[in-house]
Amino acid sequence: MRFVATHMDDKILIADMFLLKTKMNIKENPEVAVAICHPLEEGRWWVFRGKAVDIEYGFPRDFDWYGANATDILNEWGNWNKSEPPDEVPPDIVFPKAAQRGVVVIHVEEAYSIEPGHAGEKIL
């Protein structure tokens, strides 16, 4: 995921950009886990768990997800490709054309470690 941010003290935001299968999964089941994939070292052995919603452009602007407001989210991150163009992504990986449909907001409820020797230990 190239477009990721944190919001408030307990939210992870991910651009709904080509999510497709993930979007369907979240609509069926909001329970999600997010793990750091790369780089793993330097203390980034984390898995965050919580509940997710995809705040799409058509959502009521007063929609609230555990304190996160749809208007605030979409105003700041609703056109992520424009505000943070992925210039550093190699040409064989980057998508040819951005198509954002919203922002996935994950309300983090707990986090645990996957560091070898400490896997499963609760962090948050």
Partner 1 sequence: MTVKLTERMQAWIETMGCHLCVATPQGVPYVTLGRFASVTADDEVAFALAQDEYGIISTALKTNPWVALGVSKQGGIRASFQFKGIGRVVTQGPLFTGIAAEAKEAQGIDTYAVIYVKVSEIYCTKPGAEAGQRLDMMTPDEVCEWEKKRWQDIPRKNTK
Residues 4-63 that bind partner 1 (CB under 8 A): 17-22, 28-29, 31-33, 35, 37-40, 47, 49
Other Cβ atoms less than 10 A from the Cβ of 43: the count is: 9
List, as own/partner pairs, every contact residues 74-77 make where C-beta atoms lie below 8 angstroms and the sequence separation is at least 24, other chains included: 74/102, 74/103, 77/3, 77/5, 77/13, 77/15, 77/103
Stretch that binds partner 1, among 4-12, 54-62, 67-75, 111-119 (CB under 8 A): 111-119
Q: Which two tokens stand for residue 75?
A: 């105003």
Considering the complex, state which of residue 71 and residue 114 has its C-beta at the smaller distance from partner 1: 114
What does DSSP assign to residue 122?
A: B
**Minimum CB separation from partner 1 for residue 61, in Å?**
28
Applying CB under 8 A, the site for partner 1 has a residue count of 32
Which candidate, 112, 101, 120, places its Cα nearest to that of 22? 101
Site residues, partner 1 (CB under 8 A) = 2, 17-22, 28-29, 31-33, 35, 37-40, 47, 49, 92-96, 112, 114, 116-121
